[in-house]
């Protein structure tokens, strides 16, 4: 018998990929599938970004790059963060990684071991808990509540910190809820964290450019008292519709940047060279495509929230960020995962059950509105009909 480390008995995954696989299978059988399951923009990467990658290939950028990323890209990331968040970042602290996910992987590996605790949002991106368990640390869920508009509560978060806490994971704008935590709450949290200098913070800001109704995104980078223990996770996937390129960036504090560079050298050497040139074009080129995409998401957001609230038994708060609606389905009488599965099999509408995002997810489902308005309306008609015909 091959014996692997115990972490492999605990590691999880993302059910969104399983739902995508099943939806693809049903579509291949000729079924009319509307996919509101997967968390990726339904737009193409803007042409000038694609052209930059093609040019890089033609120009002969075929070899390894520095493990931390090409210098102009790291400088462009620092300039972008300065422009968006009004913060000074040393390009030497920037790490280019193959996808935003890699930053959480490395941060959790760096701080997680048996006997330690890592705080993470629940409901939240499923990989947080999976990786914490893989590392052998104790996952401590920070409840994200509907009555708090799916913002995290500073007070509750701080109350969960113990002397075993090594890392706190934050995510705003959030997956799966679309919640955005307001500045006042973040300020309270940061002030409280000054009493816990042993706790590192990983702020997952992958949806940083997707907020609505004038809601401000507050980057944790803006707080000087955290800078020596803050890991920023961001990237190109969502903002520039580049999920398949595998391009992310992180800012690591001085004390950790060389450790993480070594981890990168051990794991992947460097990120795909032409993709880095694409990333550079994305940051330095016109941002119109980003604004157009966010405006389109905003239109769909209103359609999906209105449509969901018109269905008996469903109530949906208006999400202020990302591209997800996270309605409460408790009054339908359905269990969330059973409903998601029945909707896919019976009506061809793919959504994700809340429990796939954490123990507090029962009673909710996630719908991604990265699909056309027409498809969203069609999907909601099917959901409505299904619930009328299948009362619990
Ligand atoms: N963080 C959150 C909250 C996400 O929702 C996702 C993707 O869905 C990621 C990180 C990972 O992004 P990437 O595709 O760049 O690895």
Residue 176 and residue 77 share a domain: yes
pLDDT for the residue 15: 87
Q: Is the CB of 123 under 6 A from ligand 1?
A: no
Spans of the chain below 50 pLDDT: none
Residue 154 and residue 38 share a domain: no
Q: Is the CB of 321 under 6 A from ligand 1?
A: no
Q: From ligand 1's centre to the CA of 386, what distance in Å?
A: 31
Is residue 298 included in any domain, yes or no?
yes
pLDDT for the residue 17: 86
Q: At what angle do helices 71-85 and 273-284 cross, to 10 degrees?
A: 30
Q: What is the DSSP letter of 184?
A: H
Residue 373 and residue 344 share a domain: yes
Residue 203 and residue 119 share a domain: yes
Residue 242 and residue 335 share a domain: no
Q: Is the CB of 206 under 6 A from ligand 1?
A: yes
What is the CATH number for 362? 3.90.1150.10
Pairing of strands 117-122, 165-171: parallel
DSSP E strand boundaries for the chain: 34-35, 94-97, 117-122, 138-143, 165-171, 200-204, 230-235, 248-251, 324-325, 349-350, 352-353, 365-368
Range of the domain at 343: 7-45+288-387
Q: Is the CB of 358 under 6 A from ligand 1?
A: no
Residue 191 and residue 278 share a domain: yes
Residue 248 and residue 383 share a domain: no
Is residue 57 included in any domain, yes or no?
no
Residue 254 and residue 167 share a domain: yes
> Is residue 385 a contact partner of residue 316, using CB atoms and an 8 Å limit?
no
Q: Select from 269, 284, 299 the last residue of a domain.
A: 284
Count how many domains the chain has. Answer: 2
Is residue 2 included in any domain, yes or no?
no
Is residue 55 included in any domain, yes or no?
no
Residue 252 and residue 200 share a domain: yes
- The number of the ligand 1 atom at minimal distance from the alpha carbon of 204 is 1
Q: Is the CB of 100 under 6 A from ligand 1?
A: yes
**pTM higher than 0.95 for the full model?**
yes
Distance (Å) of CA 358 to CA 113, 140, 177, 361: 21, 11, 12, 5
Is residue 381 included in any domain, yes or no?
yes
Separation of alpha carbons 251 and 246, rounded Å: 17
Terminal Cα distance for the chain, rounded = 47
Q: Select from 232, 267, 284 the last residue of a domain.
A: 284
Separation of alpha carbons 287 and 295, rounded Å: 13
Alpha carbon nearest to ligand 1 atom 7, residue: 39
pLDDT for the residue 38: 84
pLDDT for the residue 211: 98
Is residue 133 included in any domain, yes or no?
yes
Q: From ligand 1's centre to the CA of 348, what distance in Å?
A: 25
Q: Select from 284, 317, 351 the last residue of a domain.
A: 284
- The number of the ligand 1 atom at minimal distance from the alpha carbon of 243 is 14
Instruction: For the sheet with 324-325, list strands across it.
Output: 324-325, 365-368, 352-353
CA proximity to 31, closest of 386, 344, 373, 251: 344
Residue 212 and residue 120 share a domain: yes
Decide: helix, strand or coil at residue 168.
strand
Is residue 56 included in any domain, yes or no?
no
What is the CATH number for 223? 3.40.640.10
**DSSP assignment string, 23-61:** HHHHHHTT---EE--S-S-SSPPPHHHHHHHHHHHHTT-
Residue 330 and residue 239 share a domain: no
What is the token pair recorded at 210? 């997707």
Separation of alpha carbons 128 and 231, rounded Å: 14
Residue 298 and residue 278 share a domain: no
Decide: helix, strand or coil at residue 244.
helix
pLDDT for the residue 39: 86
Alpha carbon nearest to ligand 1 atom 8, residue: 39
CA proximity to 327, closest of 213, 216, 176, 194: 176
Is residue 51 included in any domain, yes or no?
no
């Amino acid at each position: 018998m091959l014996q692997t480390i115990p972490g492999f008995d605990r590691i999880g995954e993302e059910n969104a990929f399983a739902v995508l696989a099943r939806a693809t299978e049903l579509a291949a059988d000729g079924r009319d599938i509307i996919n509101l399951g997967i968390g990726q923009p339904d737009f193409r990467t803007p042409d000038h970004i694609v052209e930059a990658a093609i040019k890089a290939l033609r120009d002969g950028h075929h070899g390894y790059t520095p493990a931390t990323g090409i210098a102009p890209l790291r400088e462009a990331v620092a300039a972008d963060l300065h422009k968006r968040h009004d913060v000074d970042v040393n390009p030497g602290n920037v790490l280019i990684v193959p996808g935003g996910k890699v930053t959480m992987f490395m941060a959790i590996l760096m701080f997680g071991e048996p006997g330690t605790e890592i705080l993470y949002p629940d409901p939240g991106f499923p990989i947080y808990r999976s990786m914490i368990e893989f590392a052998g640390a104790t996952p401590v869920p920070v409840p994200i509540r509907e009555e708090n508009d799916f913002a995290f509560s500073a007070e509750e978060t701080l109350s969960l910190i113990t002397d075993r806490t090594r890392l706190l994971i934050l995510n705003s704008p959030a997956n799966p809820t679309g919640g955005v935590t307001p500045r006042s709450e973040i300020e309270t949290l940061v002030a409280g964290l000054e009493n816990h200098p042993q706790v590192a913070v990983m702020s997952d800001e992958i949806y940083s450019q997707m907020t609505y109704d004038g809601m401000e995104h507050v980057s944790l980078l803006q707080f000087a008292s955290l800078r020596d223990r803050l890991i920023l996770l961001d990237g190109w996937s969502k903002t520039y519709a580049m999920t398949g390129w595998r391009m992310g960036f992180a800012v690591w504090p001085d004390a950790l940047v060389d450790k993480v560079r070594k981890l990168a050298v051990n794991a992947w050497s460097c990120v795909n060279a032409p993709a880095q040139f694409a990333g550079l074009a994305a940051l330095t080129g016109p941002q119109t495509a980003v604004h157009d995409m966010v405006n389109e998401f905003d239109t769909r957001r209103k359609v999906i929230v209105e449509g969901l609230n018109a269905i008996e038994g469903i109530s949906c708060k208006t999400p202020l960020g990302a591209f997800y609606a996270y309605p409460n389905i408790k009054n339908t009488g359905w269990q969330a995962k059973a409903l998601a599965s029945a909707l896919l099999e019976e009506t061809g509408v793919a959504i994700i059950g809340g429990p796939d995002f954490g123990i507090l997810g029962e009673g909710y489902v996630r719908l991604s509105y990265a699909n056309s308005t027409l498809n969203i309306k069609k999907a909601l008609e099917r959901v409505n009909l299904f619930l009328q015909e299948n009362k619990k």
